[in-house]
Amino acid sequence: MKRAPRFIAATLAASALLLSACDGDNDATRPAGDQASAEADGETGGSRKGDFGPPQGDPINAVLTSPPHVPPPVNRNHPAKVVVELDVVEKVMPISEGVDYTFWTFGGTVPGSFIRVRQGDTVEFHLRNMPDSKMPHNIDLHGVTGPGGGASSSFTAPGHKTQFTFKALNAGLYVYHCATAPVGMHVANGMYGLILVEPPEGLPPVDKEYYVMQGDFYTTGKYREKGLQPFDMEKAIDENPTYVLFNGSEGAITGDKALTTSVGENVRLYVGNGGPNLVSSFHVIGEIFDKVWYEGGTHFQENVQTTLIPAGGAAMMEFHMEVPGSYVLVDHSLFRAFNKGALGILKADGPENKEIYSGLEVDEVYIGDRAQANMEAVAVAAEAASTGDLTVDQQVKAGEALFMGTCSTCHQANGQGMAGVFPPLANSDYIANDPTSVPRVTLHGLQGKITVNGTEYNSIMPPMAQLTDDEVANISTFVLNSWGNPGGRVTKAEVAEIRKNKPENASEGH
Ligand SMILES: [Cu+2]
């Protein structure tokens, strides 16, 4: 106990300096490298100051939550023993509408259950691997001090349980993930989540807290190609993801699953990045982060537009809602947002505030087909297609959902087009004369002079070759059966044929 008096002395010196710093003392005038002055600068002392002694009181069972939910604040002024029970579950879930993927999960969700403890807590961690799992798994928590972050003590075969204990010495927001070989593959299959270690005094209270985690996914089929999609190791090694997603599936936080808040509320997001490969340029369209606890650490930056979240890292951000509407969460590497799924929505209700913003919802220009309340019709059509009894009606419904955002930005939601700029699809004699023009124009684009209902257009429509064959079939069937067009049906096989034959008047872009 020789250390104690010196510790107290240092603490006293530190608080003395802290007081003088509060009086407006200039940091630059103090000698550098001095422990006491470092603390006065706002250092917390890290793990050296994170041990508040043995756990007190009865053990507490940790409240675990599924994304996008966050457990309630710890609200405790002493260290405790906290028991965490986490199950590894391998299961098939949708990764996009009509697309399934075999995820490996912590707690049955991607990302895994959110864990919340207090700095100084002793965490007794139980990992159980379900009997129907095919793989062994373990867990490396970035909030653990010790080799492997728990991985070496938690290797768990299917049908087995392991247990280890650690003291949470550093406050912060930490990623956890599986670290069983091949590690990249376990992470790519969804094995990651967040653990928040609150500082002793807790975090400032807010009105809404949400849990969002980005990850990149690699399937053998292309983006939105239907059916059960296997993991593609080659694409993973090339760091060329098919999907980049928030919370493990396209649409996990859009439409009727959007995050919600109200004008006047303070919102805090806990955002992690599981990777395994990509760094996220996390941004919320139309909102500025009042504060970002960058890298999940102790200090915040203010007034931030976009914050980098490394693979295997996290950040907390806080903002205040002034104006109602839909705010779009994106990875600002934008093809990931609009062509690989990294898009979510935070919907704020409440009265308009025209002094701050003149109004008008963020529309399909940004959200695309994700502006739809839900895309279930697409999954229903895919399911019916796989069993061979897809009806025209199912195709029309799926096609309508996809048309919104993909085509409606130009041809408008009601198919009327825009005078002199975008020709109408409604009652179009161009379509009536040749119904196969719909899938052909969609896939190959169109340029040069055309006449639609007596009006001449001489413009360019870009090809939409990124759409899958069944998406084109469904959109075309929707157009043919809407707004007085002649009806009929386009099949996936027909689209595949049309894709191979590029016509004379195709536009640039492929
Ligand atoms: Cu694993």
Which residues are near ligand 1, the ion (C-beta closer than 5 Å)?
137, 178, 180, 186, 191
259 closest CA partner among 274, 269, 272? 269
What token pair was written down for 228?
A: 């059960």
Q: pTM of the entire structure?
A: 0.83
The Å distance, Cα 280 to ligand 1 centre, comes to: 23
The Å distance, Cα 191 to ligand 1 centre, comes to: 6
CA–CA gap between residue 248 and residue 189 (Å, rounded): 9
Query: Could you identify the residue written with the tokens 């995820």?
Result: 103
Helix %, strand %, coil % of the chain (to 5): 25, 30, 45
In a 13 Å sphere around the CA of 259, the CA atoms on its Cβ side amount to 25
In a 13 Å sphere around the CA of 23, the CA atoms on its Cβ side amount to 7
The Å distance, Cα 105 to ligand 1 centre, comes to: 8
Fold agreement (60-201, 378-500): no
Return the pLDDT at 507.
86
85 closest CA partner among 103, 64, 65, 71? 64
DSSP H or E run through 431: helix 429-433
408 closest CA partner among 397, 398, 400? 400
The Å distance, Cα 254 to ligand 1 centre, comes to: 28
| Domain assignments of the chain as residue spans, ordered by start | 60-201, 210-351+366-371, 378-500
The Å distance, Cα 272 to ligand 1 centre, comes to: 18
Average pLDDT per 10 consecutive residues for the chain, totaling 510 residues? 37 39 40 50 86 95 98 96 98 95 98 98 97 94 92 91 96 97 96 98 96 98 94 96 98 94 97 98 96 96 98 98 94 96 94 81 65 79 89 94 86 91 96 96 95 94 90 97 96 95 80
The Å distance, Cα 180 to ligand 1 centre, comes to: 5
What token pair was written down for 162?
A: 């392991």
The Å distance, Cα 249 to ligand 1 centre, comes to: 19
The Å distance, Cα 108 to ligand 1 centre, comes to: 13
The Å distance, Cα 506 to ligand 1 centre, comes to: 47
Class of domain 60-201: mainly beta
Query: Is 444 assigned to a binding site?
Result: no
Query: Is 317 assigned to a binding site?
Result: no
Query: Is 299 assigned to a binding site?
Result: no
The Å distance, Cα 162 to ligand 1 centre, comes to: 14
Return the pLDDT at 360.
64
State whether residue 446 is helix, strand or coil.
Answer: strand
Return the pLDDT at 38.
53
The Å distance, Cα 332 to ligand 1 centre, comes to: 29
The CATH topology of domain 378-500 is Cytochrome Bc1 Complex; Chain D, domain 2 (1.10.760)
The Å distance, Cα 357 to ligand 1 centre, comes to: 47
Query: Is 191 assigned to a binding site?
Result: yes
CATH number of 210-351+366-371, picked from 1.10.3720.10, 2.60.40.420, 2.60.120.560, 3.40.50.300: 2.60.40.420
The Å distance, Cα 137 to ligand 1 centre, comes to: 4
The Å distance, Cα 186 to ligand 1 centre, comes to: 5
Return the pLDDT at 361.
61
Query: Could you identify the residue written with the tokens 């139980």?
Result: 126
67 closest CA partner among 176, 268, 209, 243? 209
Query: Is 332 assigned to a binding site?
Result: yes
